Structure 1
Amino acid sequence: MEYIYGALLLHSAGKEIDEENLKKVLTDAGVAADDARLKSLLESMKNVNIEEVLKNAAAAPVAAAPAKEEKKEEKKKEEKKEEKKDESDSDAMAGLSSLFG
């Protein structure tokens, strides 16, 4: 994760994300930079538009939040229905027991 954070830091600072800059950020943060991991990350990020990825990542949790609220409301409705059902069941049982004394 440190490698990705370093790349994001360079991006937000407006610096070029290259091996030299990323290695400097990592070593300044106290991380022993592995050249193979650096090269692998930089190779995988070649065709990635970081602004687009960040924009989509920021929008994803917002879209998921209403779904959780709906589930909570549905759960509450189900609980209320179950409570009513339990009450009506107990009323019916009381009525039956009065028949048999």
Structure 2
Amino acid sequence: MEYIYAAMILHSADKDINEANVKSIIEAAGLDADDSRIKALIAALEDVDIEEAIATSAIAAAPAAAPAAAEAVVEEEEPEEEEEEEASEEEAAAGLGALFG
């Protein structure tokens, strides 16, 4: 993961994503740089448009997060509705009790 993060940092800084730059970021983070992993990363990113990949990832992640957020909202609303129903039943019972003294 740290190798991908290094590439993303270089991309956001408008720097070339090459072996030397990735290695310098990995080493600056206090990690041991693995040259074969760096070469594999550079080769894998050769034909990738990083901006497009980020946009696609953000679009794909948003719908996946939406149902979970909606479910959390529904779960929060349900207990309130139940409490309101219980309160209404108690008020109705108290009103009937007043009728019969």
TM-score norm. by structure 1 comes to: 0.65
Give the aligned residue type for 2:6.
G
List runs of 5+ in structure 1 lacking aligned partners: 77-101
- Structure 1, 60-69 or 1-10: larger mean CA deviation: 60-69
The one-character-per-residue Cα deviations of 1:28-52 (angstroms, maximum 9, x if unpaired) are 1111101111001110110011000
- Give the structure 1 partner of residue 96 of structure 2: none
- Give the structure 2 partner of residue 22 of structure 1: 22
Pair 1:5–1:66, CA change in 2 (3 A): closer
Query: Which structure 1 residue ranges, 4+ long, deviate > 3 Å from structure 2?
Result: 65-68
Quote the sequence identity (%): 44
List runs of 5+ in structure 2 lacking aligned partners: 79-101
2:29 corresponds to 1:40: no
The one-character-per-residue Cα deviations of 1:8-46 (angstroms, maximum 9, x if unpaired) are 000000000000111011101111101111001110110
Give the aligned residue type for 2:12.
S
Pair 1:49–1:66, CA change in 2 (3 A): same
Equivalences, count: 75
2:9 corresponds to 1:9: yes
Distance, in Å, in 2 between the alignment partners of 1:65 and 1:10 is: 28
